[in-house]
Amino acid sequence: MIDRDGWLAGVRRVESPNCDERPAGTEITLLVVHSISLPPGEYGGDSIERLFTNRLDPAAHPYFREIEGMKVSAHFLVRRDGSLIQFVPVFRRAWHAGASSWRGRAACNDFSVGVELEGSDDGPFEEAQYQALEELIARLRGALPLRDIAAHSDVAPGRKTDPGPGFAWGRVLSRLG
């Protein structure tokens, strides 16, 4: 399912330079759920891919000037139609959580996988996204010692609000057992 380099089989790959090595001996025990739309509130297009690969044109939209120069990534993006894109191998550290902590442990990027859902903090997500996310989590749990799933807002409270109240936590958690 996951090759020796950390790529998930059968998933479209768009490699992001915004990653580095995890600290030696670190177990990957946390999955962080995010939401993103670029421009804000708009879906589709390649702006998220461009952001995660440092190719976002700041002249293409006024909001892009505000985030110009940001170096961010996630391991996975789940599009509105449920399609998956992997940007960073799971064995490397993606730059998705920023200043963060989970259960007293700081620097969540060190020990987590970041999954972005194409969406906004104030809207619902699509059935296809939930199905893809649930399948992704099941596949990752088969290969990694994932023990926890948290929202970006949980690991960076007061700084982040995603994936927001429209995310159906009860559904996802109940289906994962």
59 occurs within a structural domain: no
Token duo for residue 99 = 């200043």
* pLDDT for the residue 1: 86
Does 104 map to a domain?
A: yes
The whole-number pLDDT of residue 142 equals 94
Question: Is residue 115 in some structural domain?
Answer: yes
Q: What angle do CA 66, 69, 75 make, to 5 degrees?
A: 105
Structural domains of the chain, count: 1
Q: Is residue 62 part of a domain?
A: no
CA distance 70 to 49: 13
Cα distances from 132 to residues 13, 67, 111, 138, in angstroms, run 16, 28, 22, 10
- For 90-152, give the DSSP string: TTEEES-S-S-EETTEE-GGGGEEEEEEES-TTS---HHHHHHHHHHHHHHHHHS---EEEEH
51 lies in some domain: no
CATH number at residue 167: 3.40.80.10
* Domain range enclosing 171: 12-43+72-176
Residues facing residue 64 across a β-bridge: none
Question: Which pLDDT score is estimated for 177?
Answer: 75
For the chain, which residues score pLDDT lower than 70? none
Each residue of 96-128: pLDDT tens digit? Answer: 999 999 999 999 999 999 999 999 999 999 999
Does residue 39 lie in a domain region?
A: yes
Whether 118 and 37 have beta carbons less than 8 Å apart is answered as yes
Label residues 58-82 b or e (16+ Cβ within 10 Å = b): eeebeebeeeeeeebbbbbbbbeeb
| 7 part of a folded domain | no
The residues that are catalytic are: 116
Q: What pLDDT shows up at residue 18?
A: 98
Structural domain contains residue 153:
yes
